[in-house]
Amino acid sequence: MLYVSRFMILEHQKQKRLLRAMVVSHRIPHALLFSGKKGVGKEQIAIKFIKLINCNNKDADGRPCEKCAVCRGVDALLHPDLLIINNQLQEIQIDQIRDLTSRFSLKPSQFLLKSAIINGAHLMNLQAQAALLKTLEEPKGHAIMILITDQPEMLLPTIRSRTQHIKFGRFSRQTIKQYLLSNGLTKNKAEIASLLSDGRLNTALNFASNQEIFDKSVKYLNDLTNLMGEKSTTSDFFQYIKHLNDQLKIDSKNKETGQGSVVWKDLLEAWLLYLRELLLFKLGVGSVLENNVGMLKTSNKYSVEKLIKIINTIQNMLSIMVKTSINYRFAFEIVALDF
């Protein structure tokens, strides 16, 4: 994981220079908002920045020593001057924000600044956001918080306006592919993992290191290639959707609630990436899948205009999935009508 962190820091040069300038000039905002796609390294950058602020044994170039109690405590996420709120898929409650506010009222024991990272800040409910806003309006003198999210629009505008917003872009597919190849992956696996990662190194590494996830994602792409074949029809898509829905009902008896929605979303995102790749292929751009026979045949069947229409529909459905409680099977059936 250390090498991944260094790689991400290296790739985010603009953001690195900005954060470093804050520390050097002693003008550190009381609150930062890190936004960008999941898996692009926002969390690693936040941890590195906390060490950059608080390490007392920096080297001649101002980099944290990585050895002192502060650095080791931050890396372990266990230092008493550091609070991490990381609810992942669960709602962040007001009591967690009240705990943060209470901790910020105390002076740090070792840190220069009491530090907090709210990972998945968009998951704060309205009451939690209101409590956080009050803290932002009355900032403490010895504290900094970093809000991390891939959905900044879900935060109150008043919260966004009271934080310094730093955006993190995705990596190029070529950059991810070269990184994976340099770490021993085969060319085929590196190509597919870099495609499916959508510019997110952590996601690419997850595909590359977890064979079950990798195989499942490749199956999604193969399924779509078959469904888009010369002799396939809209009816084939509906049969596929019904079969998947029936299978998820069976699997749900042994899995946590919500697993089905994750499968639907993962599948639709994989299809979207494939279709974008197919569109580039149609436009004459070199493709990672250009030697795929099924893709070559599909390319002849679908026009550029048709692909753009399908891609737009999938993007709209993914957006609706995030914002509403739409039935996922119904969303897929809407997409199927465009094929």
Provide the b/e sequence for 199-232 (b: ≥16 CB within 10 Å). bbbbbbbbbbeeeebbeebbebbeebbebbeeeb
Whether the Cβ atoms of residue 201 and residue 171 lie closer than 8 Å to each other: yes
pLDDT tens digit sequence for 127-147 = 999 999 999 998 877 899 999
* Confidence grade of residue 12 (pLDDT, cut at 50, 70, 90): confident
* Confidence grade of residue 254 (pLDDT, cut at 50, 70, 90): very low
Q: What is the pLDDT of residue 145?
A: 97
Which DSSP string corresponds to 215-243?
HHHHHHHHHHHHHTSTT--HHHHHHHHHH
In this structure, the answer to whether residues 33 and 67 fall within a common structural domain is yes
Q: What is the pLDDT of residue 166?
A: 96
Q: What is the DSSP letter of 120?
A: T
Q: Which of 180, 209, 238 is the last residue of a domain?
A: 209
In this structure, the answer to whether residues 143 and 198 fall within a common structural domain is no
Kindly calculate the radius of gyration of the chain based on its CA atoms and give it in whole angstroms.
Answer: 23
Q: How many structural domains are present in the chain?
A: 3
Higher pLDDT, 173 or 305: 305
In this structure, the answer to whether residues 186 and 243 fall within a common structural domain is no
Q: What is the DSSP letter of 152?
A: G
253 pLDDT higher than 60: no
In this structure, the answer to whether residues 32 and 150 fall within a common structural domain is yes
> How open is the CA angle 65-69-72, to the nearest 5 degrees?
70
In this structure, the answer to whether residues 100 and 55 fall within a common structural domain is yes
CA–CA distance from 157 to each of 130, 136, 146, 181, 246 (Å)? 11, 13, 16, 42, 42
The predicted model gives 66-74 an average pLDDT of 94
Q: How far apart are the first and last CA of the chain?
A: 41
Whether the Cβ atoms of residue 43 and residue 36 lie closer than 8 Å to each other: no
Alpha helices in the chain (DSSP H): 2-11, 13-25, 42-54, 69-76, 94-104, 126-137, 157-161, 173-182, 187-197, 201-209, 211-227, 234-251, 259-282, 293-301, 304-323, 328-336
The token pair at 304 is 């550029």
118 pLDDT higher than 90: yes
Looking at this protein, which amino acid is placed at residue 104?
A: F
In this structure, the answer to whether residues 9 and 90 fall within a common structural domain is yes
In this structure, the answer to whether residues 8 and 52 fall within a common structural domain is yes
In this structure, the answer to whether residues 142 and 15 fall within a common structural domain is yes
Percent share of the chain, pLDDT over 90: 42
In this structure, the answer to whether residues 46 and 156 fall within a common structural domain is yes
In this structure, the answer to whether residues 192 and 72 fall within a common structural domain is no
In this structure, the answer to whether residues 102 and 145 fall within a common structural domain is yes
257 pLDDT higher than 80: no
Whether the Cβ atoms of residue 94 and residue 125 lie closer than 8 Å to each other: yes
Looking at this protein, which amino acid is placed at residue 209?
A: S
Range of the domain at 45: 2-168
Q: What is the pLDDT of residue 5?
A: 47
The predicted model gives 196-215 an average pLDDT of 84
Q: What is the pLDDT of residue 305?
A: 92
What's the CATH code of the domain at 297?
1.20.272
The predicted model gives 255-269 an average pLDDT of 67
The token pair at 59 is 């080297």
The predicted model gives 74-85 an average pLDDT of 94
In this structure, the answer to whether residues 215 and 204 fall within a common structural domain is no
* Mean of the per-residue pLDDT values of the chain: 85
